[in-house]
């Protein structure tokens, strides 16, 4: 069984040339979710290139040539050659300080397109359909791509009063429940760079754009295990989201329900929607674990 997602027919291509809008920093805070395990390098060029990509994916911050070579047990010259080849094809990119490397725009596009490419009958979409049927509300599945949230899948409620959107839409992280949830679990330095890299748009009078106020929300999210966006994007609408984690506790994606305040209060949503969200999240995590096991 694979971790699959529904793809909208009118989904456009992602821009392969867009780069991360992050400020330069001399130091990078290590995340508790970073996995610095030594991976033995294999003989073929393809396997070594994939090992470099895996190493960057396993790290929760950009890393340098020496660290990559050490983790893989590769000669520095070999690691340098592989890195340059991966940069040439857009699978990885130099970070803004030039001495460190991160996943590139083409790799991010491939990852998102792979998830979008599955059919509507996929198991993850079925979980989303069941969640929407159980709650009666619109449900979204999203991931963080640089400084934006991308909706990977979506099932809309039958109510006429709802937010109309589509798979592939990009949301501001600071105004959406999924965005706040995912950013809350990033290392503090990365959160800071996201917040200050560009002005945060105020969609409603209730949109939080101040870094200190956002950090208070992030602390609450980490303590409670879920996030709420109270009219952060649209007046009269709120959303509540829970994290989808891998077996090591790394937050991979967010699952959210949206509803209008005229239908229920946030307090009612925490009683009525949250248990269903948490149950669906556990089922999603089982799919992630099974898909990961099958890929090893």
**Tell me: the pLDDT tens digits for 181-193?**
999 999 998 899 8
How is residue 199 annotated by DSSP? P
Alpha-carbon distance of 278 to 70, in angstroms, equals: 39
Distance CA 60, CA 24 (A): 16
In a domain, 170, yes or no: yes
Please name the helix (run of DSSP H) or strand (run of DSSP E) that holds residue 115, with its range, or none: helix 105-116
How confident is the model over 55-91, as pLDDT tens digits? 888 876 788 888 999 999 899 899 999 999 998 888 8
Regarding pTM above 0.75, the answer is no
Whether 90 maps to a domain, the answer reads no
Instruction: Retrieve residue 255's tokens.
Output: 């699952």
124 lies in some domain: yes
Q: What is the mean pLDDT of residues 130-155?
A: 90
Task: Flag whether 152 is in a domain.
Answer: yes
Question: Which value, to the nearest 10 degrees, does the dihedral of the CA atoms of residues 182, 187, 193, 196 take?
Answer: 70
Across residues 3-8, what is the average pLDDT?
38
**Which of 5-9, 95-99, 228-232, 271-275 is the least confident region?**
5-9
Cα angle, residue 57 at apex, residues 219 and 193 outer, rounded to 5°: 45
Residue 16 lies in a domain: no
Q: Please report which confidence band the pLDDT of residue 151 belongs to, taking 50, 70 and 90 as the band edges.
A: confident
Taking the C-alpha atoms of residue 156 and residue 14, their distance in angstroms, rounded to an integer, is: 23
Number of domains in the chain: 1
Residue that wins the pLDDT comparison between 258 and 35: 258
The structure tokens 């996201």 sit at 194
Residue that the structure tokens 């991360």 belong to: 20
Amino acid 246: pLDDT: 85
Q: Is residue 204 one of the residues assigned to a domain? A: yes
Residue 27 belongs to a domain? no
- Answer yes or no: is 105 within a domain: no
Query: In this predicted structure, what is the pLDDT of residue 158?
Result: 80
Residue 125 domain boundaries = 110-295
For 259, the 3-state DSSP assignment is strand
**CATH number of the domain to which 190 belongs:** 3.30.450.40
Q: How far is it, in rounded angstroms, from Cα 234 to Cα 254?
A: 19
Q: Nearest to residue 199, comparing CAs of 175, 225, 182?
A: 175
H-assigned helices in 7-88: 45-58, 65-72, 76-88
| Total residue length of the chain | 296
């Amino acid at each position: 069984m694979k971790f699959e997602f529904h793809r909208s027919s009118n989904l456009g291509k992602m821009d392969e040339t867009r780069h991360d809008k992050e400020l330069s920093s001399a130091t990078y805070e290590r995340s508790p979710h970073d996995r610095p395990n030594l991976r033995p390098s294999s003989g073929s060029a393809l396997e070594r290139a994939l090992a470099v990509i895996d190493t960057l994916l396993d790290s929760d911050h950009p890393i340098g040539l020496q660290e990559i070579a050490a983790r893989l047990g590769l000669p520095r010259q070999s690691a340098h050659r592989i890195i340059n080849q991966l940069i040439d094809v857009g699978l990885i990119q130099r970070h803004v300080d030039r001495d460190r490397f991160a996943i590139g725009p083409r790799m991010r596009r491939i990852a998102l397109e792979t998830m979008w490419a599955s059919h509507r009958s996929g198991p993850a979409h079925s979980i989303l359909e069941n969640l929407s049927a159980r709650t009666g509300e619109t449900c979204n599945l999203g991931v963080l791509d640089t400084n934006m949230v991308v909706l990977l899948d979506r099932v809309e409620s039958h109510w006429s009063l709802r937010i109309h959107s589509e798979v592939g839409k990009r949301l501001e992280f600071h105004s959406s429940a999924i965005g706040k949830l995912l950013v809350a679990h990033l290392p503090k330095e990365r959160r800071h760079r996201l917040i200050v890299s560009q002005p945060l748009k105020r969609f409603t009078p209730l949109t939080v754009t101040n870094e200190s106020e956002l950090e208070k929300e992030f602390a609450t999210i980490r303590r409670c295990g879920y996030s709420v966006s109270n009219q952060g994007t649209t007046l009269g609408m709120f959303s509540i989201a829970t994290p989808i984690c891998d077996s090591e506790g790394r937050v991979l994606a967010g699952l959210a329900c949206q509803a209008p305040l005229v239908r229920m209060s946030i307090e009612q949503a925490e009683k009525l929607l949250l248990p269903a969200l948490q149950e669906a999240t556990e089922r999603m995590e089982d799919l992630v674990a099974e898909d990961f096991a099958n890929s090893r």
